[in-house]
Each structure stands twice: as C-alpha cells, then as structure tokens.
Amino acid sequence: MADSQSVAPDAPISDFSAAMTSGQTFTLRGRPARHTVLFFYPKDNTPGCTTENMAFRDLHEQFTAAGAEIYGVSRDSLRSHESFKAKLGLPFELISDPDEAVCLQFGVMKMKQMYGKTVRGVERSTFVIDAQGRLVKEWRGVKVAGHVDEVLEFVARQD
C-alpha cells in the first residue's frame, strides 16, 4: 500500500470519524476547542511513546487553558489504548486507527529502519488544527525531548 501525501498547511482537513477510548467516537468537525492537537505515535507501551504521552499528560492543563484539546493516535486497538491510558493516567482520549485510515489521511505512514530491518510504521508527528478544521501547524519526524513544550508554546501564541 502506498503512503499518502501530507496535508498542506492552511488547507481544510477532510472530516473523519474514528473510535477512541472511553467508548467515544472522534469527529473532527464540530470540536468545541479553538485548536485540536493530534499527535501520532508508533505504539502503546514503548519507551518513546510512553514518554511522549506522559509529556502531553503533564502539560494537559496548560493546553486546556490555551483552548486546545489533545488526542493521541496510533494503530493500536481500543483495548490496548484503554490499558495504556489507565496505566499512565492520561486525561485525554486516544484514537484507535487499526486500518490506518487516519494515518494515511495525514501522511504519517513511512518506511523506516528498526533493528536493522526496513519496516513500515507511523512516523511520530503532531498536527494542530483550528476550529474551522484547517491545518495551522505540523511537526514531522518528531524527537520526543522538548517537543510537547514546543507544541504548547505554539498553541498558546494563537489568538
């Protein structure tokens, strides 16, 4: 399966729905927040992904105060997400994308090296979408250290 193209900055994002934790369904349109932060990560319960989710957890109140809602996205099952969310005490929902529809829409499926083998997986990426459903900022190939602070700084500057 071919990897999709990335979304253009300031372009409207096509609406989508996906299952998420707490028995809810995520739909992009109609989100009440000024900004929606979607962060894509490779896999629950892995070191980098755990660190990234904890960083978003630890700054959750500041994101909320800045008018942003946070959602983590990976290909993991809802069952895996529910366990991961409970284990880390995450105050935000995790979106399950086992068929990669959302990952493909945002162009985060990439070929990468892991333990000397080439594998297809999720490229750690973060997207900020405004209340009108337009992409206002993206980070691709994210390194976890300092990233969540940078996203918060960007969101807090938006008016």
Separation in Å, CA 158 to CA 4, 66, 71, 106: 28, 8, 19, 22
The contacts of residue 57 (CB under 8 Å, 6+ apart) are 88, 89, 90, 91, 92
Angle at 79 between CA 75 and CA 85, to 5 degrees: 85
The answer to whether the beta carbons of residues 40 and 103 sit under 8 Å apart is yes
Chain-centroid distance of CA 156 in Å reads 18
The answer to whether the beta carbons of residues 102 and 69 sit under 8 Å apart is no
Is residue 49 annotated as part of the catalytic site, yes or no?
yes
List the catalytic residue out of 18, 49, 55, 109: 49
Residues involved in catalysis: 49
